[in-house]
């Protein structure tokens, strides 16, 4: 089973039209369509994966009720095949939903129709995130080496535009679209410089989570992460205390914000006994600050969206996507996970009691849901 999480993926999506060597550009698609109409083409055009996804989104004529019904059938079949009663067990996915189309995944993640429990919403949300990570992994690697941030933002925009109508109608999608357009503008105006100061920028969020000083921390064995972090710290100490470096209270200071969450967790927990008390304390402080900021941002986003269930769903998704070390470092226990799921399910049940005008639905009572 494919692991569903927030780690990076090797596959990458290219931006249509970004370079002449890419397949599936807009010009090629137009030529292929015209040739098919006239029957005069002798050229075989193979659409790239991202072009196929965008084309599928544009030609998906299903109404929302059909999308929801198809998604429900797919989930039921997956659960049956896995002999599972829930999409999550002990904070881990029991089914692989990567075969469900993006519009269906969004319907599940946003609980369209109200028929998808929190566990299914979380698994679908994480698969959507995995799709974005896959789209950005290759271009992000290129950006780190070549400074081509414009290509990275183009890839992100291509992925973003492949969303379905329901997703595009949300404030979150619209805010992120604005952020990506601004990121592309900045990266084009100043090649080699990463865009900065952009609210709701999904590329910046991706780079913060996956662009640390340690290579592939989320997918590596924790002992290997520890070894890499120790080397990276020693290298930073060497640079910080070298000739011509800062003196006084800033001498030898390490910038812990440069490390990803799992690397910080390894330091905070002093895995392998490789870190000093000072290093563990600084790492613990940084990862806990990030956790507080993340929870605060989830809450603000939920308030802006008007979706009362979004906050709890995002917290559960965050727990599921964390490594064991990350959960331990911020104090997210299995008991807390169970409580979050229980509270979220109760919230969803209570919300379903009320109609659009806030009145209780006919024939319903609070006891029906408790």
What is the H or E stretch that residue 124 is in?
Answer: helix 118-146
Instruction: Report d(CA 19, CA 25) in Å as an integer.
Output: 9
| Residues 232 and 187: beta-carbon distance below 8 Å | no
Which residues neighbour 257 within 8 Å (Cβ) at sequence distance 6 or greater? Answer: 286
Instruction: Report d(CA 165, CA 173) in Å as an integer.
Output: 11
Q: What is the mean pLDDT of residues 240-264?
A: 68
Q: What is the mean pLDDT of the chain?
A: 79
What is the model's pLDDT at position 338?
86
Count the residues in the chain.
370
What is the model's pLDDT at position 355?
47
Which of the pair, 28 or 151, is modelled with greater confidence?
151
Q: Is the pLDDT reported for residue 86 higher than 50?
A: yes
Q: What is the mean pLDDT of residues 90-111?
A: 95
Token pair listed for 332: 């997210």
- Give the residue among 256, 233, 261 at the shortest CA–CA distance from 328: 261
What is the model's pLDDT at position 135?
94
Which of the pair, 33 or 342, is modelled with greater confidence?
342
Which of the pair, 169 or 247, is modelled with greater confidence?
169
Q: Is the pLDDT reported for residue 1 higher than 60?
A: no
What is the model's pLDDT at position 274?
94
> What is the value of pTM for the model shown?
0.67
Region for residue 170 given its phi and psi (left: phi exceeds 0; alpha: psi -120 to 50; beta: otherwise): beta
| Residues 252 and 240: beta-carbon distance below 8 Å | yes
Which of the pair, 273 or 244, is modelled with greater confidence?
273
52 — phi, psi (to 5°)?
Answer: -65, -40
57 pLDDT tier (thresholds 50, 70, 90): low
Q: Is the pLDDT reported for residue 156 higher than 60?
A: yes
What is the model's pLDDT at position 96?
97
Instruction: Report d(CA 68, CA 65) in Å as an integer.
Output: 5
Instruction: Report d(CA 16, CA 32) in Å as an integer.
Output: 15
42 pLDDT tier (thresholds 50, 70, 90): very low
Q: Domain segments of the chain: what residues?
A: 47-210, 217-332, 341-370
Alpha carbon 184 to its chain centroid, in Å, reads: 20
- Please state which of the ranges 20-34, 107-121, 178-192, 297-311 shows the lowest mean pLDDT: 20-34
Q: What is the mean pLDDT of residues 74-79?
A: 98
Q: What is the mean pLDDT of residues 232-255?
A: 66
360 forms beta bridges with 354
Q: What is the mean pLDDT of residues 41-59?
A: 56
88 — phi, psi (to 5°)?
Answer: -130, 145
Which residues neighbour 276 within 8 Å (Cβ) at sequence distance 6 or greater? Answer: none
Per residue in 317-354, pLDDT (tens digit) is 889 989 999 999 999 998 888 888 887 776 665 555 44
E strand spans, the chain = 88-89, 92-93
Q: How many other CB atoms sit within 10 Å of the CB of residue 187?
A: 23
Q: Between the CA of residue 185 and those of 14, 63, 144, what are the distances in Å?
A: 18, 35, 19
Q: How many other CB atoms sit within 10 Å of the CB of residue 147?
A: 15
């Amino acid at each position: 089973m494919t692991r569903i999480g927030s780690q990076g993926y090797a596959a990458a999506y290219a931006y249509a039209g970004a370079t002449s060597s890419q397949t599936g550009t807009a010009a090629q698609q137009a030529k292929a369509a015209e040739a098919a109409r006239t029957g005069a083409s002798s050229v075989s055009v193979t659409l790239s994966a991202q072009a196929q996804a965008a084309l599928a989104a544009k030609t998906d004529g299903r109404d929302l009720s059909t999308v929801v019904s198809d998604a429900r059938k797919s989930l039921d079949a997956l659960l049956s095949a896995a002999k599972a009663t829930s999409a999550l067990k002990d904070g881990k996915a029991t089914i692989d939903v990567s075969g469900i189309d993006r519009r269906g995944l969004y319907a599940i993640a946003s609980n369209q129709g109200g028929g998808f429990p929190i566990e299914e919403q979380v698994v679908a949300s994480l698969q959507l995130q995995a799709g974005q990570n896959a789209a950005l992994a290759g271009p992000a690697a290129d950006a780190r080496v070549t400074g081509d941030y414009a290509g990275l933002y183009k890839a992100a925009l291509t992925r973003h535009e492949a969303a379905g109508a329901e997703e595009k109608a949300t404030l979150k999608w619209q805010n992120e679209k604005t952020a990506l357009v601004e990121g592309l503008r900045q990266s084009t105006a100043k090649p080699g410089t990463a865009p900065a100061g952009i609210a709701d920028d999904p590329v910046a969020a991706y780079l913060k989570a996956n662009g640390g000083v340690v290579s592939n921390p989320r997918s590596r064995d924790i002992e290997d992460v520890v070894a890499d972090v120790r080397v990276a710290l020693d290298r930073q100490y060497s640079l910080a205390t070298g000739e011509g470096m800062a003196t006084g209270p800033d001498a030898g200071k390490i910038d812990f914000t440069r490390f990803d969450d799992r690397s910080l967790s390894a330091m905070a927990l002093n895995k392998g006994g490789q870190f000093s008390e000072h290093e563990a304390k600084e790492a613990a402080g940084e990862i806990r600050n990030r956790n507080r900021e993340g929870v605060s941002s989830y809450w603000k986003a939920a308030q802006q969206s008007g979706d009362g269930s979004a906050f709890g769903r995002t917290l559960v998704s965050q727990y599921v996507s964390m490594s064991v070390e990350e959960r331990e470092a911020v104090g997210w226990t299995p008991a807390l996970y169970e409580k979050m799921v229980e509270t979220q399910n109760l919230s969803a049940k209570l919300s379903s009691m009320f109609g659009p005008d806030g009145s209780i639905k006919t024939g319903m009572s609070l006891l029906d849901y408790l």
